[in-house]
């Protein structure tokens, strides 16, 4: 069954574009047109010396669990009120796929503290961190339970996951929402997390699994 990325893509959503295996860009969607299917994006402000413009060759845009083939149509470094940033447009090619495989083991009902908030956008400031219940946790993301409507597919969020005495910060993208009884289950995929912090989460999961097996 074909997958339509434009069911999730919309202004304000953060995406990751893999230029090559060594270079990934975190970009926020500004504008979308459907004919031809094109997405305009910009990067976070940076003080770094900018890299060159993007070559017009096939790349992969990651949007939650979707891998979207794209090719840059235009790109340039511009100075805005927020700072120096990359602006680029991408033509969306046929062939979007949904990644079904999970690369990390998940732990159900983890005993960790999770706080989440909406990430700041060009049009709105960041939300306020709120404590939520974790339904499951893995090295690739976390599923949380909300008492009512909260986040939408494709929405960018900031996370804090307290593992033992350490609080792990991460950025994520809402890739799933589902009604579960009176709650809403929201799946969040990590899009920006330090590998050392990810390793801490994975180690915690393996320790908990070993502990549960030992008490059976």
Give DSSP secondary structure letters for 31-50.
Answer: EEEETTEEEEEEE----SPP
Task: For residue 196, give Cα distances in angstroms to 139, 199, 204.
Answer: 11, 5, 12
Q: How far apart are CA 183 and CA 163, in angstroms?
A: 24
109: phi then psi, degrees, rounded to nearest 5: 50, 55
pLDDT of 1 over the 60 cut: no
Nearest to 98 by CA among 2, 10, 32: 2
Predicted pLDDT of residue 15: 86
Q: Respond yes or no on whether the N-terminal peptide bond of residue 98 is cis (omega within 30° of 0).
A: no
CATH architecture label of 107-214? Beta Barrel (2.40)
pLDDT of 158 over the 80 cut: yes
Beta bridge partners of 47: none
pLDDT of 148 over the 80 cut: no
Q: Running DSSP on this structure, what letter comes out for residue 179?
A: E
Predicted pLDDT of residue 214: 67
Q: How far apart are CA 2 and CA 151, in angstroms?
A: 25
SS3 7: helix
Pairing of strands 59-63, 66-79: antiparallel
Report the chain's mean pLDDT, rounded to a whole number.
Answer: 85
pLDDT digits (tens, 9 = 90+) for 47-104: 665 667 888 888 889 887 788 899 999 999 888 887 888 999 999 998 887 765 456 7
Q: How far apart are CA 86 and CA 52, in angstroms?
A: 10
Predicted pLDDT of residue 47: 64
Predicted pLDDT of residue 38: 96
Give DSSP secondary structure letters for 83-143.
Answer: -EEEEEEEEEPS--EE----SS--EES---EEEEEEPP-SSS-----EEEEEEEEETTEEE
Q: Is the dihedral of CA 31, 72, 14, 144 positive or negative?
A: positive
Mean pLDDT of 184-205: 89
pLDDT grade for 2, boundaries at 50, 70 and 90: low
Share of the chain above pLDDT 90, in %: 33
Residue written as tokens 């990934």? 24
Q: Is the dihedral of CA 7, 64, 44, 70 positive or negative?
A: negative
């Amino acid at each position: 069954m074909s997958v339509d990325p434009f069911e999730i893509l919309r202004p304000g959503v953060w995406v990751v574009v893999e230029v090559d295996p060594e270079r990934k860009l975190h970009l926020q969607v500004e504008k979308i047109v459907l004919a031809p299917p094109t997405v305009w994006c910009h990067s976070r402000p940076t003080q770094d010396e900018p890299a060159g413009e993007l070559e017009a060759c096939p790349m992969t845009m990651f949007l939650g669990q979707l891998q979207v083939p794209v090719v840059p149509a235009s790109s340039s470094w511009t100075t805005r009120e927020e700072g120096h940033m990359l602006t680029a447009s991408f033509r969306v090619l046929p062939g979007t796929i949904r990644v079904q495989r999970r690369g990390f083991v998940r732990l159900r009902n983890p005993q960790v503290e999770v706080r989440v908030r909406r990430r700041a956008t060009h049009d709105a400031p960041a939300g306020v961190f709120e404590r939520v219940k974790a339904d499951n946790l893995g090295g690739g993301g976390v599923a949380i339970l909300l008492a009512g409507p909260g986040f939408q597919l494709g929405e960018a969020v900031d996370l804090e996951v307290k593992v033992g005495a350490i609080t792990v910060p991460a950025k994520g993208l809402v890739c799933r929402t589902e009604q579960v009884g009176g709650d809403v289950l929201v799946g969040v995929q990590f899009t920006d997390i330090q590998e050392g912090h990810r390793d801490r989460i994975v180690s915690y999961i393996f320790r908990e699994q070993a502990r549960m097996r030992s008490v059976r």
